[in-house]
Structure 1
Amino acid sequence: MQLNQKMTTPGARLSGVLCTIPSPVVTQALAASGMDCVIVDLEHGAVDIGTAHAMIAATQGTGCAPLARVTSIDETQVKRILDMGAEGIVFPLIRTAADAGRAVASMRYPPVGTRGFGPFIAQSRWNSTLMEYPRHQEALVCILTIETREAVENIDAICAVPGIDMIVPAPFDLSTDLGVMGQFDHPDFIAAMSRVEAASKAAGIPLGNVARAKGQAEALFGRGYSFIADFDVLWLRDRAAEFRGWCAV
């Protein structure tokens, strides 16, 4: 089952990893673990386009969907990473319905979108041919990240844009933009999150978020979220620190 189908399954509890480490080996191990998706992080990770392709290819043979987080709503960058075989895009800093519309359009071929044609590499990832590849675009996943006060104010209009597969209210960036960095119990942050959650649910759009502990994951699922993710590099550091602790006297 492809990721877009999993997302629409009632009661779905999906898992993912934001891959900031530029390594096909790491990505392959994560994909083999049973993750629903990996997100190659071009926004905050140390990943170039060649390594991104290798990381996407490293998911082959598993049920793990390779997505990519881009740096902005940049049609050229979106086109290129989809042409590497990515199964979807995570867009940062969506602020308005117009932003959301541009994001969706950048993933689709004309006449419904603005994506240029050239899936010379992607056709192999999708086990397709060059001219058959476009039929797979309906399976591509479009995820929008809500990170600012402006986005929260425009959330109803954003959610009304067709073609959005998931909304992710980003706690770190959103709390920072609200002036309460990391204060996830602050009334302003809680109100903003509630507004995003309500709008997404009203529009029938699945919700995703970061979970760094099992209790946090359970709380998110209890509030109607269907997707959680964490960061490879944070897992590595946490596990290394735990291991080092075994040597403490």
Structure 2
Amino acid sequence: MAHMKHRLHHSTDRMTMHICTIPSATVTQALAAAGADAVIIDMEHGAIGYTEAHAMIAATAGTHCAPLVRIAEADARLVKRVLDLGAEGIVFPLIRTAEDARRAVASMRYPPNGNRGFGPFIAHSRWGTALTEYPAKMEDNLTCCLLVETADAVANIDEICAVEGIDLLVPAMFDLSTDLGLMGQFDHPDLLAAMGKVEAAAKAANIPLGNAALNETQARSLFDRGYRVIAGFDVLWLREKTMQAQAWCAE
């Protein structure tokens, strides 16, 4: 099965990615086995440490599900560590400028194309290679996803999208609405205008777009607007299904 990066750039596939906040390899394995195209192991907001992250990454083996990791901040030290655990990509929060984007891309690549230090002692086993063969197999197959979460990022979006090496752009409505002082007001004209600016810039730069879709109506709306990837949340799926079961008990 092709890596997610290849599918983003060389297909028109619509894809799912589920944000895993629950520190559980079992949950991740269930999502991967159910056909998820990717999981985002959330080390920014979730209760997940490095031991759990490694187990969750390993739990996707044998499926076509890409294990991505959302790190706590765009720091090359964090990037190096989770890639060396076997992650297939990084989700970078709080990218504000083109320089932030360039640093993000560089942190995922070895010299001379970047500044990643060598040490995939765990990652090479996840990808079935010899230690020294890991860079040749994986460097060009790692997915770089940037989150657009701030007014600064929106203002700089054309310059950000001009940076080579971005594979997926996600205008994060929860964080962006909060940064604009419009927390949760997803229909506010200012938020919609900001979203439209990001979408237009991504389309012009031919960068695939992703966003959260918690029901089919939201998913169809995103696909109609040109989005390629829809995201859900493990804890919200669990809560929703539990509430549905409770409703079945009502008289």
> In structure 1, what is the Cα distance between the partners aligned to 2:201 and 2:227?
13
Q: Equivalent residue for 2:236? A: 234
Q: Higher mean Cα deviation, 7-16 or 194-203?
A: 7-16
Q: CA deviation at 1:184?
A: 1.2
> In structure 2, what is the Cα distance between the partners aligned to 1:71 and 1:86?
15
Where 1:132 maps in the other structure, the secondary structure is helix
Q: How high is the TM-score relative to the length of structure 2?
A: 0.98
1:203 to 2:202 alignment? no
* Aligned residues between the structures: 249
> In structure 1, what is the Cα distance between the partners aligned to 2:161 and 2:179?
20
1:139 to 2:137 alignment? no
Q: CA deviation at 1:2?
A: 1.2
> In structure 2, what is the Cα distance between the partners aligned to 1:87 and 1:174?
26
Please give the residue correspondences for 1:163-202 in structure 2 after superposition, counting only pairs within 5 Å.
163-202=165-204
> In structure 1, what is the Cα distance between the partners aligned to 2:203 and 2:11?
13
Where 1:173 maps in the other structure, the secondary structure is helix
Residue identity opposite 2:197 in structure 1: R
Q: Higher mean Cα deviation, 179-188 or 206-215?
A: 179-188
Please give the residue correspondences for 1:75-94 in structure 2 after superposition, counting only pairs within 5 Å.
75-94=76-95
1:18 to 2:13 alignment? no
> In structure 2, what is the Cα distance between the partners aligned to 1:10 and 1:38?
19
Q: Equivalent residue for 2:104? A: 103
Please give the residue correspondences for 1:14-53 in structure 2 after superposition, counting only pairs within 5 Å.
14-53=15-54
Q: Equivalent residue for 2:4? A: 3
> In structure 1, what is the Cα distance between the partners aligned to 2:17 and 2:145?
13
Q: Equivalent residue for 1:214? A: 216
Residue identity opposite 1:80 in structure 2: R
Paired-residue identity, %: 62
> In structure 2, what is the Cα distance between the partners aligned to 1:128 and 1:18?
27
Cα-to-partner distance string for 1:32-73 (whole Å, 9 max, x where unaligned): 001100110000111000110000000000011101000111
> In structure 2, what is the Cα distance between the partners aligned to 1:113 and 1:184?
37
> In structure 1, what is the Cα distance between the partners aligned to 2:204 and 2:13?
17
